[in-house]
Amino acid sequence: MEEAPDFRDWKDLLSNLQGAIFTHLSLEERLSIVPSVCKSWASTLAGPYCWQEIDLEEWCNQTEPNKIDRMLVLLITRSSGSLRKLTVSCVQSEKTFTFIAE
């Protein structure tokens, strides 16, 4: 008789737990590597749980200023209103500040 395995499938984890796991990865890893692993991971990353805390400070120091506003809009939209903490510098436009405030 076969014994039941002592582990669960990734898809059985609650979405907020999956998202919490991904928050320990860098922004680059979450945006470029994780979505290509499997559909389940890509789906989790598209949801709001990975984007409740957004830290773009390091990324801001390494990228062109005009890309910062676009990234902010993308990630804040992904948070679906669940954003709790935002760390960013070099915001380029008043329009982006307004978007963040709303």
Taking phi over 0 as left and psi of -120 to 50 as alpha, with beta for the rest, 80 belongs to: left
Angle, CA 77 vertex, CA 100 and CA 63 arms, to 5°? 70
Average pLDDT, stretch 22-26? 88
Q: Note the pLDDT tens digit of each residue in 46-71.
A: 888 889 888 888 888 888 877 888 88
Residue bearing the bigger pLDDT, 74 or 3:
74
Q: What is the structure's pLDDT at 2?
A: 61
**Structural domains counted in the chain:** 2
Question: Would you say residue 2 lies in a domain?
Answer: no
Q: Are residues 79 and 40 in the same domain?
A: no
Q: Are residues 22 and 36 in the same domain?
A: yes
Q: Are residues 55 and 19 in the same domain?
A: no
- Domain of residue 45 covers 13-50
CB 23 within 8 A of CB 53: yes
Confidence of residue 26 (pLDDT cuts 50, 70, 90): confident
Question: Would you say residue 5 lies in a domain?
Answer: no
Question: Would you say residue 90 lies in a domain?
Answer: yes
Q: What is the structure's pLDDT at 85?
A: 92
Mean pLDDT (the chain) is 85
pTM of the predicted model, to two decimals?
Answer: 0.76
